Structure 1
Amino acid sequence: MSVFKDLKWFFKEERFAYGMGILVLAFVSIFTLLPPYIVGVIVDHIAEQSLTTSILLMWVGVLIAVGLLVYVLRFVWRIMIFGAAIRLARLLRNQLYGHFTNMSSKFYQRQRTGDLMAHATNDIRAVQATAGQGVLTLVDSLTMGGFVILTMALTISWELTLISLIPMPFMALLTSYYGTLLHKRFHVAQAAFSELNDTVQESVTGVRVAKAFGQEEREIEGFRSKSEEVVQKNVAVAKVDALFDPTISFIVGISYFLAVVFGARYVIADELTIGQLTSFTIYLGLLIWPMLAFGWLFNIVERGRASYDRISNLLSEKQDITDEQASVTTVAKGDIEIAVDSFTYPGANVTSLRNVHVHLQEGQTLGVVGKTGSGKSTLIRLLQREYDVSEGTITIDGVPVNEYSLDALKKAFGLVPQEHFLFSATIADNVAFAKPEASFKEIVAACELANIHEDITRFDQGYDTVVGERGVTLSGGQKQRISIARALLSHPNILILDDSLSAVDAKTEEQILTSLRENREGKTTIITAHRLSAIKHADLIIVLSDGDIIERGTHTNLMDENGWYRSMYDQQQLESVVREGGEEE
């Protein structure tokens, strides 16, 4: 029952709803005791041959009135208790979503998407059931069971009541054991479901790759294996779950047997009337639900406890990147000073950056090049403070980036990442994501800068064209240019193009870069690229290799040095000539 203690904070918040629901539920239990009493009275009238039409109609009227009242009261407690449980699910879901959006990249390196989805679906449903049906079964089993036992003992026979309750301690021991076993197995079953969820998410996302390599059967077999594991784990839970009802029914059956045997002896000895014994057996029948509910309670509570533990553990993970040292709330702008002595990703053994020192004046363009894995994207992540620099500093206008509020830092940047993510929405909505209040005219202007406007107008629905999930209906170049338009729309002080021109042809690339130079005068631009034509006009170019700067300067300077940059540039130019089938001038 520890989950109820863990949820005490919520019960306190919803004390009116739960208090009213529990009070109404108690009244329902009390009114439910009247029909067995009325049946006993009528049976005694029949036995004494004193039942008249007026007496029968009176008691029938009372039964109808009680039935209508209980009908209304049951509606009220459901609204109160189940309504509060739904609000708990909404609260936990919002907390999880807020937590997910505030966590850093380090968090997502440890967590799998499918597992996070399972937390926000199955686990929350289990906790909601605990706060709804769990509270119901706890209160109903205690109030109904308590009132029934008191009524049997005080109005009929306390001796017969004690005899009938002899088997009950055995039921309490068995259900407690089942509950402990259920908690362990349900925890394992939830983990298996998370694995399955993650497999499905990855398979759906990568379905085009699977088809391209003809690996559909392999994916299906992998899913079947995971699905079978989930079934096995849930069957193990069901086996324990299935023990509750038979155990409770068997023990209640023994109680019935004892009640009938000893009750008949009391009737023969004139210590009870036949009507009282009838009422007693009906009351004993009313005890079946509290006993079943009590066993069901263990099932619900143990599932809820396992799920709440998983949710709590997730929510307890601290943010790596915070505003604790923030003292500047104005949007970051100005000269950028990068002085990274050393940086290693958390948990990694290889240093990603060493002795990277760069000064970039406001309004200049920085080009960052190097082979794959040289540290280009790492530098961008540190600049945006996805990670904190452990040895060294990065400042904007002389202020360390960790002294800017996260909001002020984020608003300063416009990022076009390597992996272009588009939402399942219209093209206009995707472009306006960075600035939801943007007018249609502003959206079109940004798309024209990104050289995607003409492509969009050729679609049947134009800017109202709905792109598929992750932009699957668009080409790579179209997705890149829509991502660029999205970044440009907010007019960021610092625009970052992280190898984001690779899917467009050389002519389109040149048109985009020319537009950027003409329309971003006085604002800083940082471009990482494999294709050197994208950064040849930069004010400063740095060449990274294994995390170190091996060359720096302008395009002209680097061409004069005859180093890696000159060699790579000449090679790419030759490849371009070969592709076009022409001759180098």
Structure 2
Amino acid sequence: MSILAGFLHYYKPYKRLFYNDMICAIIVSAIDLVFPQVLNYLTKNLLIQQTVEFIAIIGYIGAGMLILYGIRYACQYYITTWGHVMGARMESDMRQDLFDHLQRLSFSYYDKNNTGEMMSKLVSDLFDISELAHHGPENIFISCLKLIGSFILLLLVNVPMTLILFSIAVSMTIFSYYQNKRMKVIFMENRKRIATVNALVQDSLAGIRVIKSFANEGIEREKFRQGNLQFLGSKESVYKIMGSFHAGNGLLEGLLYVVVLVSGGYFIAQGQLQATDLAVYALYIAIFINPLDVLINFTEQFQKGYAGFKRFAEVLQTQPEIIDKEQAIPLRQVKGHIEYRDVSFAYEGNKGVLNHVDFTVEAGKTIALVGPSGGGKTTVCSLLPRFYDVTAGAILVDGQDVRDVTLASLRNAIGIVQQDVYLFAGSIWDNIAYGRPDATQAEVVAAAQRANIHEFIAGLEDGYDTYVGERGVRLSGGQKQRIAIARLFLKNPPILILDEATSALDNESERHIQSALEELAQNRTTIIIAHRLSTIRHADEIIVINDGQIQERGDHKALLAQNGLYAMYYTMQFDGMDE
């Protein structure tokens, strides 16, 4: 979508508010133009009337003006209140659209983009867009009405003076246009700089425990200082351009008054203008200059809003790489038969991570993937729920290519337990129920019992309502892991992926979790990634992956007998590193 069309799209649900706002703007502008005309009428017609008649007429005029300014008050209230409400609602719609789109984007987008920058687009950019959405049409409309109206009325007073003023106004317009082009570039750079600052803050706060464990607070302060200074430099550039912009326009406005004073005096001396007309002319000059000031000040707001909306539109224009086909069908009654058929995969711009991988997992069976770090084990598992799509070959579930079924049905059929468990900032209940939000209390408790975590939760002061903190920081690694397992018990998927689920735990926690995982894996197709080979002896098949290829395969005894890579790892773990 073009920038303008995309921006106007968000006005559609609020057309009535917008039109009412514009009608109120017309009324406010018209009333502002009335007062000098009333003064002009008084000076030319009523001052020659008798005192009694004058007092009666001036009373009516005063009452009429009071009524007009009462109407103006109501209109200005509507503009200020409901105009801002309209802008806030548009901002809310944009924020929702942006968040919804971020939810649709594939893993590859998050591989390339920083969370802090995304937060900047969701918060600060959209606030500037909201201000532009409200004040933009209103300021332009009111200013144009006042400019045109006051210009016509100035022509009625004195044509030569008005043409001189018009030439100066044209000069101001040209000056503003060229300054505006410079500001456009600076404001876009400014948006990027503040996004960088947000990214630095998010990254530093998320890793605060690592920072403190290495006593590297000084390094983080220096990194932030550099980013902050770059943002400051960008802001200084903005203000320097704005300084010359406003000062230049101020000079031209001053020139307007000088022209009015000099030319007015000249035309009065020539008998072509009355002194009273000059007073009325001066009032209209103020009305003429005020919208110019508004438009000049609006330039900064426009550039901020435009830069923000452009960044917003760029995200919405980013297409997710992993989407449903038009003819995609739901995956139903999943048994869990999995087949990797000559699968190859490469990340964008990188050499192949997997090359011609072939294996089959019968429904309800368990396979284990082992091998050196970076060999491709996690990538194998990431391709099954289509976090990424294969570069070549195919992955089938119950005989159906995963690319031919809907993403929602595919991922609902798969449960994943990772080494780095993510818990949302909420209660223990919220995090377990995330596996199935419509679950009953009894089902949540049953899932916790099967994950060997119910007794621990029951012993807490707030029980299931205990707040876990950001990323579950108030819980131990083993406790977080068991909550994640309870979440999967509740989801009850037919296919299970265990990615280093116990490698970061102590022996006691590992025993509790291993027993929970074994129960979880019963009657499910299970793929296990493990470095601790003691946890996979029971697997129906063990596949050794090295350099993106299957190097060995077989059960535990068969692989030991081969005396290959698996046997070497097993010996290293159980006979000691020295040997």
Q: TM-score, normalised by structure 1?
A: 0.92
| Aligned residue number for residue 296 of structure 1 | 297
CA spacing shift, 1:382–1:180, aligned 2, 3 Å: same
More divergent stretch after superposition (222-231 vs 108-117):
108-117
- The change in CA–CA distance for 1:267 and 1:45 in structure 2 (over 3 A counts) is farther
Give the structure 2 partner of residue 127 of structure 1: 129
Matched ranges for 1:99-114 at <5 A:
99-114=101-116
Higher alpha-carbon deviation: 212-221 or 368-377: 368-377
- The alignment partner of 1:338 has SS state of strand
Alignment of 1:146-165 (within 5 A): 146-154=148-156, 156-165=157-166
**1:20 counterpart letter in structure 2:** N
Q: 1:449·1:516 contact (CA, 8 Å) conserved in 2? A: no
How far apart in 2 are the matches of 1:47 and 1:9? 54
Contact 1:449 1:512 in 2 (8 A): no
Q: Would the aligned equivalents of 1:360 and 1:366 in 2 still touch at CA under 8 Å?
A: yes
Q: Distance in 1 between matches of 2:489 and 2:349?
A: 35
Equivalenced residues, count: 574
Cα offset for 1:380?
0.6
1:357 partner amino acid:
D
Please give the alpha-carbon distance, in whole angstroms, between the structure 2 residues aligned to 1:278 and 1:368: 90
Give the Å deviation of 1:63. Answer: 2.5
Cα distance in 2, alignment partners of residues 473 and 6 from structure 1 = 44
Gapped runs of 5+ residues in structure 2?
Answer: none
* Structure 1 residues 256-405: aligned runs within 5 Å: 256-267=257-268, 271-324=272-325, 326-331=327-332, 332-349=334-351, 351-405=352-406
Change in 2 beyond 3 A, CA 1:563/1:203: same
Q: Residues 519 and 163 (structure 1 numbering): CA distance in 2 closer, same or farther, change over 3 Å?
A: closer
Note the C-alpha offset of 1:49. 7.7
Q: CA–CA distance in 1 between the matches of 2:308 and 2:104? A: 22
Alignment of structure 1 residues 36-185 onto 2, 5 Å = 36-44=36-44, 48=48, 52-154=54-156, 156-185=157-186
More deviation, 122-131/398-407: 122-131
Q: Tell me what 1:581 maps to.
A: none
- 1:399-449 deviation digits (Å, cap 9, x = unpaired): 011011011111101111232111111111011112111122222222222
Provide closer, same or farther for how the CA distance between residues 80 and 518 of structure 1 changes in structure 2, counting only shifts above 3 A: closer
Q: Aligned equivalents of 1:440 and 1:328: distance in 2?
A: 33
Alignment correspondent of 1:582: none
Identity within the alignment, % = 31
Indicate the residue corresponding to 2:31 in structure 1.
31
Distance 2:419 2:379 in 1: 12
1:244 Cα deviation from its structure 2 partner? 3.4
Structure 2 CA distance for aligned equivalents of residues 542 and 257 of structure 1:
88
Q: Which segment is superposed worse, 28-37 or 239-248?
A: 239-248
Measured in 1, the distance between the counterparts of 2:47 and 2:119 equals: 65
Comparing 194-203 and 532-541, the one that deviates more:
532-541
Note closer, same or farther for the CA distance 1:146–1:565 as it changes in structure 2 (3 Å cut). same
* Higher mean displacement: 332-341 or 369-378: 332-341
More deviation, 293-302/383-392: 293-302
SS of equivalent residue, structure 2 residue 423:
coil
Counterpart for residue 9 of structure 2: 9
Partner residue of 1:197? 198
Question: Residues 128 and 549 from structure 1, CA distance in 2 versus in 1: closer, same or farther, beyond 3 angstroms?
Answer: same
Between 1:504-513 and 1:92-101, the stretch displaced more is 504-513
Cα deviation 1:497-527 (Å, max 9, x = unaligned) = 1111123344543444444444554321221
Any stretches of 5+ residues in structure 1 without a counterpart? 579-585
CA deviation string 1:78-125 (max 9, x = no partner): 345433322222222122111211111111122111221122122222
Cα distance in 2 for residues equivalent to 1:82 and 1:243: 30
Q: Report the Cα distance in structure 2 between the residues aligned to 1:6 and 1:360, rounded to whole angstroms.
A: 48
Q: Specify the code of the residue in structure 2 equivalent to 1:227.
A: N
SS of residue matched to 2:426: coil
Hey, what's the Cα distance between the residues in 2 that align with 1:442 and 1:402? 33
Deviation at 1:216, TM superposition (A): 0.4
- Alpha-carbon offset, residue 71 of structure 1: 0.7
8 A Cα contact 2:184 2:303, kept in partner: yes
For the residue of structure 1 that corresponds to 2:340, the secondary structure is strand
Provide the aligned C-alpha RMSD in A. Answer: 2.4
Q: Decide which moves more: 66-75 or 454-463.
A: 454-463
Q: Which moved more, 1:493-502 or 1:521-530?
A: 521-530
Q: Is the 8 A contact 1:20 1:80 kept in 2?
A: no
Q: Are 1:527 and 2:513 counterparts? A: no
| Residues 506 and 443 of structure 1: CA distance in aligned 2, closer, same or farther (over 3 Å) | same
Q: Distance in 2 between matches of 1:87 and 1:59?
A: 41
Partner secondary structure for residue 551 of structure 2: strand
Distance 1:250 1:148, change over 3 A: same
CA contact (8 A) 1:165 1:255 kept: no
**One-letter amino acid matched to 1:159:** P
> Cα deviations across residues 18-66 of structure 1 (Å, max 9, x unaligned)?
2222122111100111222233344557865855433333332222222
Distance across 2 between alignment mates of 1:431 and 1:324: 32
Distance 2:3 2:304 in 1: 10
In the superposition, relative to structure 1, how do residues 537 and 394 fare at CA in structure 2: closer, same or farther (>3 Å)? same
